[in-house]
Structure 1
Amino acid sequence: MMIPATHLLLIESNPADAKLIKDALRDDGTAFMVEWVTSLADALKHLAQNSIEVILLDLALPDGKGLDVFDKVIAAAPDALILVLSAASDDKLMRAAMKRGAHDYFAKGHIDAHWLPRALKYILERKVSRIALHESDERFRAMSDASPLGIFVSDAQGNCIYTNAAYHTISGQTLEETLGTNWTSAIHPDDRLQAISEWGDAVRCQTPFIAEVRFLRKDKSVIWTRLNAAAIRTGGEGKKSQGFVQIVEDISDRKSIEMILRLSEETVFEQQERAQVTLNSIGDGVLTTNLAGKVSYLNRVAETMTGWTLKDALGLPLEKVFTLIDAETRKTPENPIARALTADTTVKLPTNCLLVRRDGTESPIEDSIAPIHNRDNQVTGAVIVFHDVSETRAMAQKMLHMAQHDFLTGLANRALLTERLTRAVGLAQRKKKQVALLFIDLDNFKLVNDTLGHAVGDKLLQSVAKRMTDVVRATDTVCRQGGDEFVVLLTEIAQRQDAAQVAEKLITAFAAPHTIHECELDVTLSIGVSIYPDDGNDVESLFQHADAAMYCAKTYGRNNYQFYRADISPSNPCPIARSG
């Protein structure tokens, strides 16, 4: 099956320059179908009648010049890749065109049959990768919107950059209304200062932030919410925060029950039947004790969660019925009832508490413990309202994993790789070690997609991911950046030859075909390598230099690896290469 040619429109008034470009592309075979026009008018007419994927545009035409020409062409073909042809003196004009949407620019003096078609193909492949990343992001947002928990993601200053559908329902605001707002803006003014103070304490102590606050909704109604927030941090010294993710849960029903339970015992007994129906209809467990810490009541949910019936538990010490342990230390925490009664205030359990059921099974819980007062405001006991948070924590873990891993292969994504690379660079700097970054592109992967379909292509990517993971150390990171691009992070290497050995192992591993749906598929690797600190002292420069070295490996014949060198540049992308 033949791969369809890419439709390219050449807009160039100089016949000599046009011939040079057409000859360069013609020598590459059937990869590009080139149409040539010499004026802006002819170009606009052609674009109105034809679908064009790539445009090579000279900004000096007989009937138009400069950015006016570019604006008219991009308006006529907004989805095309536009690459501007420049002369040596056009740098300022080229940069202005890039700001308006040009994808790149080529110097006419450096165009040849070897470099131009390969550069165009590489740019097209990068566009496909960006589209794939966008589709992955859309899938992530769809799954986020399916969550019953509100999600509020903010930048390092606390200003919103994303909210999901559940948050919109809870806050009464649309996505457009939440974007750019501070995380505290939805909190009721009477609760806001306390929430900010508790958040400050959590940040200073580096502990999870959990708070119960009222939300003032757009329609002026008020609901109770539980907030769980944590910082999104990069690695390295200082652990700088990139932003925050906040899980918001509507707990209005539970708060209504707590208000009922804070009535005096006399009132509770007078309304026992009504309270009993109400307490047994909610989803939270409710347990009360007297001043001596003996159990005086459990609702049906509490009976299920503790494994004790009210009949069996009545009069027993709280610690026998409501048995708690710390998930990490396996020790019993401080008696929560004693703390609530001594301070005469509502208290909460530590976030990592497990409730041990009567049969020995364990479940993570969250709760609040409040003193009960009689009509004379004297403390007569305490009430514990608790619920199982297994699903909530599992959802939070799932959302965190999704935010840091590729949807198709399960590998680390660019965000997680950047965090680990930052941490690795900081560690290598302290230990006087080196770090290697291998930028990998699959050779001829587009041929598999075009001939066998995307389903086979996806299976091949999963097989590629497993084979790469099997080659590297457990302490290293394999990342799918998007499309058919992968990145491998090698931490704490002693010398450049260590990275060369891994690159050679990867190339050797891919000598064997991949069996997908009973088909044997051959793909090879083009690998670019950058080394910290020789090739850069920061994340961005290491990525850029590994990418440039990979492009050099691809143009040098593919199925090889190249180290970054200072002579690799946009105007000289293919210097005489040397492996290892």
Structure 2
Amino acid sequence: ADAAEAKTVRRSLVDSRDGPVKVECVNRCGDAIKRLGSQGGEEIAAVVVDLSLPDSQGIETLEQLQHASPHVPILVLSHLRDEDVARLAVQRGAQDYLLQERLDGHSLARALSSMLERSAYAEALFLESQRAQVTLNSIGDAVISTDVAGNVTYLNAVAESMTGWSRLEASGRPLQEVLHIIDGDSREPALNPLAMAMLHNKSVSLSANCVLIRRDGYESGIEDTAAPMHDARGQVTGAVIVFHDVSVARAMSLRMSYLAQHDFLTELPNRLLLNDRLTQAIASAQRHRTLAAVLFLDVDHFKHINDSLGHAIGDQLLQSIAQRLVACVRHSDTVSRHGGDEFVILLSEVARAEHAAFTADKILAAVSRPHRIGHQDLQVTVSVGIAVYPDDGADAEALLKNADIALFQAKAHGRSNHQFFEQEMDARATAGAVARAMAR
């Protein structure tokens, strides 16, 4: 500043109501730039500059001052004839300007006080924004916000990774373009959760089993919550959605459900799943006036194989038998393992009982072929008992019981054959059980 300006600045600030203020004056813009650049202007609260000083380059000088210390607010002093330059300076980043023709101690103090207050508020907002930015990028959830029209205004780092869109690319685009969500079952587009949140002015969640399709086509299961954002008057100004990848959790849940219904050794359905399918098959047969057949079988002399060759060989043999059983039936049928060397096969929607006999004969032939286990060929046979709905039982329990009785008869007939259940078998089985009980 020139001598007169410097005197006015000192007089108005040294005895400020806000306490004593240290004022440094230089006569050249170049000196001011050096002073700011020497320590980054860390102890300097504000700069008052006259852009009409002899070495000033106008706006270029302002930019040099800003570059030397970006965080220090600048007040421009200007003559009335140069007010256009002063206005341009404010557009380029100066906090304010003051006309020298109206310069006095009171006006300068007021302008500086207002400028510093705005600068402090802006700095506080910046710090708060930085804290929010760091927080949003540190959490494990993805965050996307939109304006009231549904156009993207923000993505955090996790959202960028999960959607495949960078914040710069996504900004201003419709949410549906960036956040492509479908129903995992129907494959239909899911409802826009942010639009629903803004429409109902409350938090909403996606329906279960939603899938996010990333920009490159990769799919991941997600769970989310969307909520509207409001201004000071309570008006909805946009919405934010927070979501996270649940693919691993869903896969784990599906795996646990699978394990609960399947045999660990053979991965065939277990008793639990068979009973469920058998109940459904009986209901279907009742509706369509068809039959359903249960084939109960076990491996002949399997205990001898386990005892002589070991359980490891026995397990491999059971796995080989399971594969052949599956190959003998339709996709709509069910092959299950009941434990040990026992298997149960459900034939659903059977037209005639002879179809069950045909399948049993296929099984007898398939299982009897040599099984290559390790370096040896093992040859085994199975015995099969057959019960048919509705003649041999009206429910799952009765059919399984009677198929087991028929299996006992197949073994009594020399093994490696199949037998249909007959009512006389039930009477003989009951009499035999009573006789064994009395003998004990």
Report the equivalent of 1:273. Answer: 130
Q: Give the counterpart letter for 2:417 in structure 1.
A: N
Determine whether 1:472 maps to 2:332.
no
State TM-score, norm by structure 1. Answer: 0.51
Report the equivalent of 2:379. Answer: 522
Flag the 1:419–1:269 CA change in 2: closer, same or farther, 3 A: farther
Report the equivalent of 2:176. Answer: 319
Q: Deviations over 1:2-57 (max 9, x none)?
A: xxxxxxxxxxxxxxxxxxxxxxxxxxxxxxxxxxxxxxxxxxxxxxxxxxxxxxxx
Q: Percent identity, aligned pairs only?
A: 52
Report the equivalent of 2:309. Answer: 452
Q: Deviations over 1:193-217 (max 9, x none)?
A: xxxxxxxxxxxxxxxxxxxxxxxxx
Report the equivalent of 1:415. Answer: 272
Query: In 1, Cα distance between the equivalents of 2:363 and 2:166?
Result: 61
Q: Give the counterpart letter for 1:367 in structure 2.
A: D
Determine whether 1:283 maps to 2:137.
no
Contact 1:422 1:539 (8 Å CA) reproduced = yes
Contact 1:268 1:275 (8 Å CA) reproduced = no
Flag the 1:508–1:360 CA change in 2: closer, same or farther, 3 A: closer
Report the equivalent of 1:379. Answer: 236
Report the equivalent of 1:292. Answer: 149
The alpha-carbon deviation at position 546 of structure 1 amounts to 0.7
For the aligned residue pairs, the C-alpha RMSD in angstroms reads 2.1
Q: Give the counterpart letter for 1:504 in structure 2.
A: D
Counterparts of 1:315-464 in structure 2, within 5 Å, are: 315-327=172-184, 330-464=187-321
- Which of 381, 402, 405 is the aligned partner of 1:548? 405
State TM-score, norm by structure 2. Answer: 0.66
Flag the 1:423–1:332 CA change in 2: closer, same or farther, 3 A: closer
The alpha-carbon deviation at position 364 of structure 1 amounts to 2.8
Flag the 1:324–1:508 CA change in 2: closer, same or farther, 3 A: closer
Query: In 2, Cα distance between the equivalents of 1:524 and 1:288?
Result: 66
The alpha-carbon deviation at position 376 of structure 1 amounts to 4.0
The alpha-carbon deviation at position 331 of structure 1 amounts to 4.5
Query: In 1, Cα distance between the equivalents of 2:396 and 2:310?
Result: 35
Flag the 1:268–1:370 CA change in 2: closer, same or farther, 3 A: farther
Query: In 2, Cα distance between the equivalents of 1:397 and 1:382?
Result: 33
Q: Give the counterpart letter for 1:567 in structure 2.
A: E
Determine whether 1:571 maps to 2:431.
yes
The alpha-carbon deviation at position 316 of structure 1 amounts to 2.8
Q: Give the counterpart letter for 1:464 in structure 2.
A: I
Report the equivalent of 1:499. Answer: 356
Query: In 1, Cα distance between the equivalents of 2:280 and 2:185?
Result: 26
Q: Deviations over 1:386-417 (max 9, x none)?
A: 11222122112212211111111011111111
Q: Deviations over 1:254-307 (max 9, x none)?
A: xxxxxxxxxxxx998662222222211111101112223222221110111111
More helix by share: 2
Flag the 1:386–1:506 CA change in 2: closer, same or farther, 3 A: same
Flag the 1:332–1:426 CA change in 2: closer, same or farther, 3 A: closer
Report the equivalent of 1:147. Answer: none
The alpha-carbon deviation at position 519 of structure 1 amounts to 1.2
The alpha-carbon deviation at position 496 of structure 1 amounts to 2.1
Report the equivalent of 1:305. Answer: 162
SS at match of 2:150: coil
Number of residue pairs the alignment of both structures matches: 308
Counterparts of 1:163-178 in structure 2, within 5 Å, are: none
More strand by share: 1
Q: Give the counterpart letter for 2:160 in structure 1.
A: E
Q: Deviations over 1:141-199 (max 9, x none)?
A: xxxxxxxxxxxxxxxxxxxxxxxxxxxxxxxxxxxxxxxxxxxxxxxxxxxxxxxxxxx
Query: In 1, Cα distance between the equivalents of 2:298 and 2:239?
Result: 63
Counterparts of 1:80-119 in structure 2, within 5 Å, are: none
Query: In 2, Cα distance between the equivalents of 1:296 and 1:562?
Result: 73
Flag the 1:351–1:267 CA change in 2: closer, same or farther, 3 A: farther
Determine whether 1:535 maps to 2:395.
no
Could you tell me which runs of 5 or more consecutive residues in structure 2 were left unpaired when the two chains were aligned. Answer: 1-122, 434-440
SS at match of 2:299: strand
Q: Give the counterpart letter for 1:466 in structure 2.
A: Q
Flag the 1:535–1:269 CA change in 2: closer, same or farther, 3 A: farther
Could you tell me which runs of 5 or more consecutive residues in structure 1 were left unpaired when the two chains were aligned. Answer: 1-265, 574-580
Flag the 1:334–1:471 CA change in 2: closer, same or farther, 3 A: closer
